[in-house]
Amino acid sequence: MTGPRHSCGVIGMYCSDDVTSDIFKALRMIQHRGQESAGISVFNGSKVITAKGTGLVSDAIKQTGMQAINGNCGIGHVRYPTSASKSEKNAEPIEVQITHGTIALAHNGAITNYQELKKKYLDTGWSFLTDSDSELISKIIAKHLIQNNDPVKAIRSTMGEIEGAYSLTLLYNNRVFGVRDPYGFRPLCVGWLGNGYILASESVAIDIFEGDLIRDIAPGEVVEITANEIKSHPSSVNYPSAHCMFEWIYFARPDSVIDGREVYDVRKAVGEILASESPADVDLVMPVPDSGRAHALGYSIGSNIRYEEGFMKNRFAERTFILPDQKQREDSVAMKMNPIRSTVNGKRILIVDDSIVRGTTLVKLVKMLRDAGAKEVHVRIGCPPVIAPCYYGVDMKSRDQFIATKYSVNEICRKIGADSLGYISVPGLVKAIGKPENDICLACLNNRYPTNISGETHRFQTTLRNSY
C-alpha cells in the first residue's frame, strides 16, 4: 500500500569532512523510525548523487556502492512501512532536476491536502511517479525555485500551499535546509558535531558522534546549515504548537530528547501517574517489551510494587502491527513474545503496555500469562483510549479499527480477558509530558484536530481502510 501517511526519520548534514558514512551512521541511529526503505543524497562537488533501496539502512544503502561517494553535505531518510508490502519507488530522498540543479528531499509527516493539491497539479499537466506526498512537496518547491531560484522563498511559498505535518531535510545542490511545519507535529533538531552541523529527527543521531544537541527547530522555522553556521528563517506567524504526544509515548527512542523533554523521563512519569490514578493489589509489575518498559518501571516506582521481566521478546520476529490480516497479527504475537514461567506462575501480575489500538496484542498476552500459571492478570496502559485516526503521520488509520470506539473500558477489559484494565487519563498524560495541553496534538484521543481535515483526506483514509 502506498499513500501520503508515514512516520519516518530524516537527517541533514554539512561538515568540513565527507558526510556520507556519517549520514549512514545517523540513519542507523533512527532506524526505529522506519524499516521499509532508506536512502542518502550527497552533493559530490559537482552534482547530487542519491542511493536508496528497500530494507534496513545497512541493506538498502550498502548494496548501492554509496561508500565510494564523497561530499561535504547531504541528507538521509528512513521510511516507516504502512503495510507488509515494500515499495521501492516510495524510497526517499526524492530527487527533482531543474535547470538550476537538483533538489533532494526527505520528509517525515503527512500532507493533509495532498489529494486536492495532486489533483490541481495533475489538471495543469504535471505527472507523478509515486503516490507519495514527498514527491508532491519536492515538485512544488521545484516550481517555485524555477520562478525565483531563492530556496528560502521557494520553501516558504511551498509552506503556503501544503497543510499538515512535515519535518523536512532538503539538499539543493550544495545547500542543506531543515524545515518544520507551523505546528511542529513531528520532531526535528539541530546539533553541533565539532566539524559541522547535523539536522535529525531525534537527538540520538547526534549522540553517536558525541555531538551537542543545540536546539529543536521551531515550528514554522526554516534553517540552512553550513559547516560553520546555522542561518535561521523563523516563521512570521505565531501558531500554537501541536507536538504529537505519540512520539513520547511510543514512536521515539527513550534516549532521545524531543522538544525539551527526554522520552524516557516522560514514559516513566506516565507510569508513576498511572500508578496513582489506577492502583492495583498485585505481586509484581511487568512490562510488555520493549515499548512498555519505561512506563512499567514508572508504575513500579509509583506503586512500590516489585518490577520483573516476565516476557521474552524475539528480536527477529516481524512487526505485528503492520501485518495485513487479523489472523496473521494474532499468530505473530506468539512468535514475538513468550512468558518466563518462573516469574509468572502463581502470581498476581500487572502488565503495562504503551497503548492499545486494535487490542490484538493484549488478548494474546493475557492468555499467555494465564496459561503460564498467573493467578490474576491486570493491565495498565500508558496512553488514553485511541478513538480517532491520525492524519499527521502515525500509522493509525480508521475509526472502526480502534477497539475503544466500539467498547467501554469494562467491555475491553472483558474482551482482553484481564482482571482489571486502566488507561492513563488525558490530564495525566499532559502532566507527564510537562507541556501546556494547547501545545500537544491529542487528536487521536479527543478527535480535535489542530488543522482542517478535508473531505478528500477522510475519503482517502476510507479507501485505504477498505484495501486492508
Q: Any idea which residues carry the catalytic annotation?
A: 8
For the chain, how are helix, strand and coil distributed in percent, rounded to 5? 35, 25, 40
The minimum distance between CB 362 and ligand AMP, in angstroms, equals 6
62: left (phi over 0), alpha (psi -120 to 50) or beta: alpha
The minimum distance between CB 354 and ligand AMP, in angstroms, equals 5
Alpha-carbon distance of 346 to 339, in angstroms, equals 13
Set of cell numbers at residue 455 = 473531505
The minimum distance between CB 396 and ligand AMP, in angstroms, equals 5
Q: Which is nearer to ligand AMP, 24 or 246 (CB)?
A: 246
The minimum distance between CB 346 and ligand AMP, in angstroms, equals 26
The minimum distance between CB 35 and ligand AMP, in angstroms, equals 11
Angle between helices 326-336 and 360-371 (to 10 degrees): 40
Using CA atoms, how far residue 357 sits from 219, 226, 318, in Å, is 28, 42, 18
Q: Which is nearer to ligand AMP, 254 or 359 (CB)?
A: 359
Set of cell numbers at residue 12 = 541533514
Question: Which residues does residue 243 pair with via DSSP β-bridges, in sequence order?
Answer: 440
Angle between helices 263-277 and 293-303 (to 10 degrees): 50
Q: Which is nearer to ligand AMP, 197 or 248 (CB)?
A: 248
The minimum distance between CB 217 and ligand AMP, in angstroms, equals 23
Tell me which residue of 396, 365, 402, 397 sits closest to 380, measured CA to CA: 365
Tell me which residue of 166, 187, 320, 179 sits closest to 253, measured CA to CA: 187
Set of cell numbers at residue 139 = 515538485
> 234 — phi, psi (to 5°)?
-70, 160
The minimum distance between CB 422 and ligand AMP, in angstroms, equals 16
Using CA atoms, how far residue 46 sits from 81, 101, 187, 307, in Å, is 33, 10, 31, 57
Answer for the pair 219, 238: CB distance below 8 angstroms, yes or no: no
Neighbour tally for 112: CB within 10 Å: 25
The minimum distance between CB 263 and ligand AMP, in angstroms, equals 14
Spell out the residues 6+ positions from residue 440 whose beta carbon is closer than 8 angstroms to its own.
Answer: 241, 242, 243, 244, 245, 430, 433
The minimum distance between CB 57 and ligand AMP, in angstroms, equals 19
Q: Which is nearer to ligand AMP, 355 or 461 (CB)?
A: 355
Distance from chain centroid for Cα 177: 20
Q: Let me know if 22 is exposed, middle or buried by CB neighbors in 10 A (0-12, 13-18, 19+).
A: buried
- Residues that bind ligand AMP in the complex, under the rule CB under 6 A: 250, 288, 291, 321, 353-361, 394-396
Alpha-carbon distance of 81 to 88, in angstroms, equals 11
Q: Which is nearer to ligand AMP, 61 or 362 (CB)?
A: 362
Q: Which is nearer to ligand AMP, 233 or 406 (CB)?
A: 406
- Residue carrying C-alpha cell 535546509: 177
